[in-house]
Amino acid sequence: MKVPFVALAKQHKVFKSEILSMISHALDEAAFIGGENVAKFEEEFAEFCNTSHCVGVSSGTDALRFALIAVGIGAGDEVITVPNTFIATTEAITQVGARPVFVDIDPVTYNMDVSQLEGVVTDKTRAILPVHLYGQAADMDPIMELARKFNLSVIEDACQAHGALYKGNSCGSMADAGCFSFYPGKNLGACGEGGAVVTDNAELAGSVRMLRNHGQKEKYIHEIEGYNGRLDAIQAGILRIKLKQLKDWNDARIGIAACYQRLLSDIPFIRLPQEATYATRCVYHLYVVLAEKRDELRQYLYAKGIETGLHYPVPLHLQKAYEHLGYKKGDFPVAEQVAEKLLSLPIYPEMTEAQVEYVADSIKSFYTLSKNGKI
């Protein structure tokens, strides 16, 4: 049996005719930049996130970058985040001229260890950038409390958390702004690049609107220098079609996670994801286990037709790109230990029960063979 890591082609088959007719309409109207699909998607996604505003942009990275600029982060500022995220989180920080400052992660949830935040606040700290990793909410209340105490902005990286909840609140809706990616494999993915900033702050939304469009509100009148960072109209049209399925897709991911949990809970060599009580809806963008003999297991699964992923094998503070930040091995022991064992198992709404069972059986057979010295 083959179990790919994602199965987007299967997902698109269901919507192919709807998507093709939307594209055909866009071609007839020559509506590629801005227009109805972008405006409507922004309305619909803001409603989904329970925020007053949504601004479509060209990627999650741009969403983060524009949100940071919009709250006034720039050269010389420090932004606190985690080392176990996709590099886009920190690229956004450095590309606005600021410096990422890391705190370690919680060993249970793999999200920001909020107890370490106060210890790294300096007179240059201007913002906190928590990541709702793998689809589970970071512990926002203590983050917001600390932000109030030190007058810091908070930008949520919700690029892996479309529809996830924290104490009933949508991820992305709790801080100054929330940033989403619609990279194809995300819980809500475009057929290309896309992203969004959601916020309740009209002024902030206005700034992001200008930033994504060369700093102009009115054509060729530039209040500031901006970027070419718009969400294109065809992607917005596709996102509108797919957004209608997002709740059901997230339910399906939650079902698959429960199935893995049931099938794998008696294997002592792997640690399954754990949901914090405050994370009232985990949407399992990724299903990440910590596995003994991770690399051998991964190879074994691959030979059995099962693709897996590593999110992320080298924490950011140990990446060559961030040598200049001056961190060293041992600085964030939890993130480092987790990185050595983590393994992302396939999880997507189109996955069949037979596929989930096959993955679980294969993991079991690996550890049985390994225990008996046969691997």
Interface residues with ligand PLP (CB under 6 A) are 59-61, 85-86, 88-89, 131, 157, 159-160, 181, 183, 195
**What minimum distance in Å lies between the beta carbon of 375 and ligand PLP?**
33
Q: Which is nearer to ligand PLP, 88 or 359 (CB)?
A: 88
> What's the rounded Cα separation, in Å, for the pair 102 and 331?
9
Residues 176 and 155 sit within 8 Å (Cβ to Cβ): yes
**What minimum distance in Å lies between the beta carbon of 24 and ligand PLP?**
26
Q: Which is nearer to ligand PLP, 112 or 131 (CB)?
A: 131
Q: Which is nearer to ligand PLP, 88 or 334 (CB)?
A: 88
Q: Which is nearer to ligand PLP, 61 or 136 (CB)?
A: 61
Q: Which is nearer to ligand PLP, 78 or 157 (CB)?
A: 157
Distance of CA 356 to the CA centre of its chain: 23
**What minimum distance in Å lies between the beta carbon of 137 and ligand PLP?**
13
Q: Which is nearer to ligand PLP, 230 or 297 (CB)?
A: 230
> What's the rounded Cα separation, in Å, for the pair 100 and 75?
12
**What minimum distance in Å lies between the beta carbon of 61 and ligand PLP?**
3
Residue for token pair 């029960």: 353
Question: How buried is residue 76: exposed, middle or buried, by Cβ count under 10 Å (0-12/13-18/19+)?
Answer: exposed
Give the pair of three-digit tokens for residue 93. 């920080």
**What minimum distance in Å lies between the beta carbon of 88 and ligand PLP?**
3
> What's the rounded Cα separation, in Å, for the pair 242 and 230?
19
Q: Which is nearer to ligand PLP, 63 or 71 (CB)?
A: 63
Residues 6+ apart with CB under 8 A from 72: 126, 153
Tell me which residue of 60, 6, 84 sits closest to 311, measured CA to CA. 84
**What minimum distance in Å lies between the beta carbon of 195 and ligand PLP?**
5
Phi and psi, residue 270, nearest 5°: -130, 145
**What minimum distance in Å lies between the beta carbon of 158 and ligand PLP?**
8
Q: Is 160 helix (H, G, I), strand (E, B) or coil?
A: coil
Residues 162 and 283 sit within 8 Å (Cβ to Cβ): yes
**What minimum distance in Å lies between the beta carbon of 59 and ligand PLP?**
3
Q: Which is nearer to ligand PLP, 85 or 355 (CB)?
A: 85
Residue nearest to ligand PLP (CB): 60
Determine the angle formed by the axes of helices 353-371 and 246-264, rounding to 10 degrees.
30
Residues 108 and 278 sit within 8 Å (Cβ to Cβ): no
